[in-house]
Amino acid sequence: MDISAIELKEKIVSNEHIYLIDVREELEYHTYNIGGQNIPIGKLPQLIEDLDLEKSDEIIVICQRGIRSTTAQKILETAGFTNIRNLQGGIQAYRRINN
C-alpha cells in the first residue's frame, strides 16, 4: 500500500508514531532527509533481522522517487512484515509540498 506525501506530512506534524526507513544511499540521505533510519536498499536484506520492529508495525519506506522503496516494500513483505507503505513519488514529492 502506498502513502502520499501529504498523508505522511500529516502523520509527522501530528507526531504520530511511525517507523521511517529511508533506503537511499548515505550521501543522498545526508543531503536531505525527513528523519527515519537510513538503510540503503543494497543492505536491507542483510539488516532486516536487526530491525527492532513487530511484523505488524506500520513502516513507511522512502527513496528519491519511489522506485527503490517499492523494492524495499517487497523485501520487507517477503520477510513477513505486513504493514509496509511506500511514499508515492519519494522524497521529491515530499519536498515539493514543503517548499
Catalytic residues: 63
Do the bridges between strand 59-62 and strand 84-87 make them parallel or antiparallel, or are there none, so unpaired?
Answer: parallel
Contact at 8 Å (CB) between 61 and 23? yes
Task: Go through the chain and tell me how many residues it has.
Answer: 99
SS3 track for 30-65: HHCCCCCEECCCCCHHHHHHHCCCCCCCCEEEECCC
